[in-house]
Structure 1
Amino acid sequence: MGWFVYRSVFGGFDDLGRVIEWVRERGRGELPFVCVFPGNAEHWFWSLRYSVEGEVGYALWGDKASGLEQIKDISDITGIPFKALVDRYVDALFERKEDDNSVSLLLRDAGSARPVIGVFYVKNVGIVGFGLVTDITLDAFRNFKYWREDQGHWVIRWRMRVLWLHPGVRDLLRNPGFTWKDEKELIDKLKSRITEDKSIKSEINEYIKSIESIVPKQGNMCLSDESKLLEVWLKINAILSDNDEVNSMVEFYGYAQSSVLSMFETVSISELNIDLIVKKISEELYFDEAFIRRFVNAVRFGNVLLVGPPGVGKTSLAVRVAKELGGDGGYMIRVANALWFRRDVIGGETLEEGSVKWRAGMLIQAYNRVVERLINGDNRPFFVIIDELNRADVDKAFGEFFAIFRSPNPSDWELPIDLVSEIEGHGERIDEEAKHFLENFKLAKDKYDDPSYPLRYIRIIGTMNVVDIRNLFIVGEAALRRFILMNIKCPEGDSDVRKFLDKTNHLKLSEESKKLIADFVREIRGQLRDKPPCVSPGAVKLAVELLDNAVGQGLLDVNDKKSMLEYFVSYLESSLGIVVGEPVKRFRRVVDEVTKRLISVSEK
């Protein structure tokens, strides 16, 4: 139990996703205040490092109110230095009520408060992120040990809930051994990470450049020009509206939180060679190593939902990571369907041999496996993989499940007390798993003083096909808040195809045939771009295997490129699972165009 809790009107602000939702929602009414906090690279790096290794998710910044520099303006309202920020903070969270000759400050509720956004500006580098100012402290007794005070004392200090950080900066913060010899070297490293990071979208870069062209670069300042304020807010809001960026931030600080909490004790994931695991999975499944690392970090923290087109390897990735992190017997996999009820997920009554019996669902089974592993000194997580999660009626099957897993964070998970009473009420008419659960529940209560403790070792990985993206809204926001969402996009180019063709030794295809297939896949992917159907790695592999089988049976001459391509196209179309509609027409149009071009080139 914490000593300090959020006021009821700001409840839920410990959830970064909800904080971002709140900031965006408030921005639809009154414009948020925006302040810019420039500083040298070393000060900013330690402030952001604090958000990973200190109070997770919170960056520190400050201002000098003494020393060699001119004393800052004093707020008329509070008497605290840095008038611009303090007065905006008061205006954002309080409303003034005049009564006779006195003025009272009344706390606004969450629906009328006005966010104060701080822009993180590193001198000689640029904007590296931004956050929500949450509290301001006037503190002459303590200093932040990583800020030099040879030219004045940092007496006023404020915390900011980090809303967004540049991916390049996140990578540096993930590395606890990262060092630099001086300010110039740190600036160079920050610049190189920001300019060379390929994961940041071009439009995000444009938003940042646009903000940099507007905001002041010297001294802590808050924007007062409404037109500039509007322009900066629109760019910030655009970044906060990008689901990939939001999910990456939730994942980033979730990983930091799990590291600080040391969630796993004796046999910890942290003891595994993550680099080796990532490399091995990348070679087997042809995923980008950076994506696999992000996924591994995400499941170390909490539940993850993999969303992407059919055949891109969502389930294969989930199973491979579960095997590596959970060890032997460290996972179970279930395929969701429309007939699922609460009894399939949690447990419940069922008819068996003419009588009512209580049968355990997959969560009870997972709980039992965790307790059994803990007793044997195995503190690794246990994974429950739910394939095609949205195939189930979410409200019907997962209502109580989501009450137990009320956020992506394992420390928030809790078993309902009445679940035990419900099972016990059936006496001997319960299955073996339910009997073990009652024993394990008591064991966990005695050993850990918390029967919900084993839940911390359970990880849910859900998968959902992007062709069913309309069902994302049927799944609902309440369900999605229980997961870190990760999108697997349809691959571009032919790198995955070439890796597969090079590493599959049993293929009878000639090198020319392999090159033709890789070129063909690259071309049609380039023509289709983001439009369905997705020419997925799974579909390509199946088509290649069928083609190779045809060659092995003597049905095809490997030197007859036209026939080879015709067979491959036929197998590929059947592997994609498309039968009618615009995707089929689009695929055939693109195939005809690419086939003519490749055959024409090869015949010259």
Structure 2
Amino acid sequence: MVIFSVYGDWLTVRDAFKNLLGFSEEAVSTFLDYVQNGKFIPCLFIGSKEHWIESIRYSFEGEIGYTLWGSADKSSISGILSRYQMVYLNTDKSRYIPDNNKILIAMLYMTGSGIIGFGVVTDVEMDAIRNFKGWKEVSGKFWVLRFRIKVFWLHESIRKNKDINAWTGESYELKGTNSQANMCYSQENNDAINSFKSFILSKKDEIKPTLDLYLSLLGSKPKEVEENKKEVICKGAGQINVNDLYLPPNALDLILSSVKRTNVLLVGPPGTGKTSLAVRVAKSLTGNDECYEVATANSLWFRRNLVGGESIRGGSVIWKSGLFIQAYVNAYKVKEGNYFLIIDEINRADVDKAFGELITIFSSPSPDEWSIPRSLIDEIKSYGDNVDSTAKEFLRIYEDLKKENRENEPLRKMRIIATMNLVDARNLFYIGDALARRFVIIKFDYPEGTEDLDKLIDRYNLRDDEKNEIRNLIGCLRAKLKKDEKDALVKFNVSPASIKTALDIYSSLENKGIDKFIEVLESTLGTLDQKNISRVKSKIEECRKGENRKI
């Protein structure tokens, strides 16, 4: 929730300070240059934990990266104002002329705890009409003057802890300062300047993590550089190594061809390489880890997980973005190629609760027909400022593109690759035809014989007789399990993933032999269902007796 109205795009930063007020490495180096060369006036802002908590929350939930502090003391106000004018304006001349030789550095001090942060004072505001709601006005004190501070460092307890009760500061002697009042000191106060400088430089490695935290809350590039948005290239070489995967005939060509044109659903039992293939396809087609996101569905997913919806943050109701809104924002940045959203185990989520609106958005297999419903835009707008940063960015992008009738353009660059498990049917939800029609469906299954094993086994340092014993066992076992499928409630067989894991473990053992391989294989079946485990053991016994009879 934005606590104060801010100026947004109506005010721009003067060229002399652009490098200072960003969130980049350049901002860090510019700030440290002022500090190392002593080109600053030190200001100490002191207050209770109760007040500082609200001011820091403002930097997280209001104007990201900026905090506010106030003063009620007349002498303090006049002193700070005079320092501000002296630093940023040449007050010894007949008119104000901007000067960027120095900056005002604010040290944020929490009474009873110590230093909790520091930053640059960017502006001051005299306001007798309004009060910052996080500060209690007691004993006739009115916080008439507000300082706006671009934060460069926050104490680790604040950066890494959502529990405000755990927030604390750092004890450090700031020589030449008065720890009883808000004050900006003179440029002749070398003790204050040197102690500020020493403390800031001791925390220089924590400045970038602080700015990164704020940047993550923004959900996009900050407004100062928004016009020069980062464009992402999502076009890789398209070369995929699948030598260790068992794929249905022509599956790779089919998925590569299909995903360039629409969404793809990989259907089959666990352990057949669906998820591995989905991730490898996204990586190879984009060549960039920024161009895809992987999420695993679960039974608690609702519409707000996929699209977005009402949520609670800091005791307030907000509209929180889901995976789809995040993907739209990311796809907007794609200059070449597509942005991929990989949803693993899609049928672990209740389709009606989670995917209903996606059926509307992806109205057909053709991206040219995909569109954002106006009702979604109106819904997000109805929450006003009570939306997360990604939703704000989504609305900005949508409205900007709508002026040119291009609001659905990011959708054209989005692709969903989903995987679906057909084995654990008792614990999964049904995927209806309405959703299935939005995908090209590619089916996976257990190998009929030892096709996957044959691709792998020569990579391992095993004797020929060992390889033959393992091949004979797996071929026989799979054939017997498949023959019994018609009588089984749930389809089950030895998956390619189980074989690969078993070979990895077995080949590293000192003591080998078919009995040891069977022991390892039984531990890599990927099931806790005792009926399936017993079936496998029983079929192994039958296979081994058959081999003995042959001998």
Q: Normalising by structure 2, report the TM-score.
A: 0.53
Aligned residues: 313
Report what 1:394 is aligned to: 351
Write the deviation string for residues 481-521 of structure 1: whole angstroms up to 9, x where unpaired: 22222110111221311222223xxx454343233222221
Given that 2:371 and 2:408 are in contact with CA atoms closer than 8 Å, whether structure 1 keeps it comes out as yes
Report what 1:316 is aligned to: 276
Instruction: Determine the C-alpha separation between the residues in 2 that align with 1:592 and 1:598.
Output: 10
Paired residues for 1:51-130 under 5 Å: none
Report 1 or 2 for greater relative contact order, CA contacts < 8 Å, sequence distance ≥ 6: 2
Write the deviation string for residues 185-214 of structure 1: whole angstroms up to 9, x where unpaired: xxxxxxxxxxxxxxxxxxxxxxxxxxxxxx
Displacement of 1:365 in angstroms is 0.7
Displacement of 1:597 in angstroms is 3.3
Residue 475 (structure 2) pairs with residue 522 (structure 1): yes
Report what 1:419 is aligned to: 376
Write the deviation string for residues 107-149 of structure 1: whole angstroms up to 9, x where unpaired: xxxxxxxxxxxxxxxxxxxxxxxxxxxxxxxxxxxxxxxxxxx
Over 3 Å counting, the alpha-carbon distance change for 1:321 and 1:289 in structure 2 is farther
Instruction: Determine the C-alpha separation between the residues in 2 that align with 1:510 and 1:600.
Output: 23
Paired residues for 1:191-202 under 5 Å: none
Displacement of 1:477 in angstroms is 2.0
Match of 2:442 among 468, 486, 496: 486
Instruction: Determine the C-alpha separation between the residues in 2 that align with 1:284 and 1:301.
Output: 27
Instruction: Determine the C-alpha separation between the residues in 2 that align with 1:515 and 1:545.
Output: 17
Over 3 Å counting, the alpha-carbon distance change for 1:582 and 1:268 in structure 2 is closer
Displacement of 1:366 in angstroms is 0.6
Instruction: Determine the C-alpha separation between the residues in 2 that align with 1:497 and 1:268.
Output: 34
Write the deviation string for residues 401-448 of structure 1: whole angstroms up to 9, x where unpaired: 11111222212211011222222222222212112111221233245x
The residue identity in structure 2 corresponding to 1:321 is: V
Given that 1:520 and 1:594 are in contact with CA atoms closer than 8 Å, whether structure 2 keeps it comes out as yes
The residue identity in structure 2 corresponding to 1:438 is: L
Report what 2:328 is aligned to: 367
Instruction: Determine the C-alpha separation between the residues in 2 that align with 1:594 and 1:268.
Output: 50
Report what 1:584 is aligned to: 533
Specify the SS of the correspondent of 2:341. strand
Paired residues for 1:450-465 under 5 Å: 450-465=406-421
Instruction: Determine the C-alpha separation between the residues in 1 that align with 2:271 and 2:443.
Output: 13
Over 3 Å counting, the alpha-carbon distance change for 1:511 and 1:422 in structure 2 is same
Instruction: Determine the C-alpha separation between the residues in 1 that align with 2:272 and 2:428.
Output: 18
Report what 1:197 is aligned to: none
Unaligned runs of 5+ in 2: 1-231, 486-490
Residue 521 (structure 2) pairs with residue 593 (structure 1): no
Report what 1:292 is aligned to: 252
Instruction: Determine the C-alpha separation between the residues in 2 that align with 1:472 and 1:340.
Output: 13
Paired residues for 1:134-533 under 5 Å: 277=239, 280-288=240-248, 290-328=250-288, 329-373=290-334, 377-378=335-336, 380-447=337-404, 449-469=405-425, 474-503=430-459, 507-529=460-482, 531=485, 532-533=491-492
Instruction: Determine the C-alpha separation between the residues in 1 that align with 2:426 and 2:443.
Output: 15
Specify the SS of the correspondent of 1:281. coil
Unaligned runs of 5+ in 1: 1-265, 559-563
Q: By percentage of residues, which structure has more helix?
A: 1
Instruction: Determine the C-alpha separation between the residues in 2 that align with 1:445 and 1:519.
Output: 63
Displacement of 1:355 in angstroms is 0.8
Over 3 Å counting, the alpha-carbon distance change for 1:303 and 1:464 in structure 2 is same
Displacement of 1:367 in angstroms is 0.6
The residue identity in structure 2 corresponding to 1:330 is: C
Specify the SS of the correspondent of 1:383. strand
CA RMSD across the alignment: 2.5
Given that 2:309 and 2:321 are in contact with CA atoms closer than 8 Å, whether structure 1 keeps it comes out as yes
The residue identity in structure 1 corresponding to 2:314 is: E
Specify the SS of the correspondent of 1:348. strand
Write the deviation string for residues 521-542 of structure 1: whole angstroms up to 9, x where unpaired: 1221222236232211101111
Report the more deviating stretch, 323-332 or 468-477.
Answer: 468-477
Report what 2:520 is aligned to: 571
Q: Normalising by structure 1, report the TM-score.
A: 0.49
Given that 2:245 and 2:273 are in contact with CA atoms closer than 8 Å, whether structure 1 keeps it comes out as yes
Instruction: Determine the C-alpha separation between the residues in 2 that align with 1:444 and 1:570.
Output: 60
Instruction: Determine the C-alpha separation between the residues in 1 that align with 2:443 and 2:325.
Output: 29
Instruction: Determine the C-alpha separation between the residues in 1 that align with 2:389 and 2:461.
Output: 51
Instruction: Determine the C-alpha separation between the residues in 2 that align with 1:365 and 1:512.
Output: 54
Report what 1:198 is aligned to: none
Displacement of 1:358 in angstroms is 1.4
Instruction: Determine the C-alpha separation between the residues in 2 that align with 1:366 and 1:268.
Output: 13
Specify the SS of the correspondent of 1:497. helix
Instruction: Determine the C-alpha separation between the residues in 1 that align with 2:251 and 2:525.
Output: 24
Report what 2:110 is aligned to: none
Residue 506 (structure 2) pairs with residue 538 (structure 1): no
Displacement of 1:473 in angstroms is 7.3
Instruction: Determine the C-alpha separation between the residues in 2 that align with 1:288 and 1:502.
Output: 21
Over 3 Å counting, the alpha-carbon distance change for 1:500 and 1:391 in structure 2 is same
Write the deviation string for residues 274-294 of structure 1: whole angstroms up to 9, x where unpaired: 6xx3xx433242425611101
Instruction: Determine the C-alpha separation between the residues in 1 that align with 2:455 and 2:443.
Output: 22
Specify the SS of the correspondent of 1:429. coil
Instruction: Determine the C-alpha separation between the residues in 1 that align with 2:428 and 2:317.
Output: 35
Instruction: Determine the C-alpha separation between the residues in 2 that align with 1:470 and 1:413.
Output: 33
Over 3 Å counting, the alpha-carbon distance change for 1:393 and 1:288 in structure 2 is closer
Displacement of 1:389 in angstroms is 0.7
Instruction: Determine the C-alpha separation between the residues in 1 that align with 2:433 and 2:426.
Output: 13
Report what 2:173 is aligned to: none
Answer with 1 or 2: which has the greater Rg: 2
Displacement of 1:599 in angstroms is 5.5
Specify the SS of the correspondent of 2:364. coil
The residue identity in structure 2 corresponding to 1:515 is: N
Instruction: Determine the C-alpha separation between the residues in 2 that align with 1:523 and 1:582.
Output: 19
The residue identity in structure 2 corresponding to 1:567 is: K
Displacement of 1:472 in angstroms is 8.0
Over 3 Å counting, the alpha-carbon distance change for 1:582 and 1:464 in structure 2 is same
Specify the SS of the correspondent of 2:252. helix
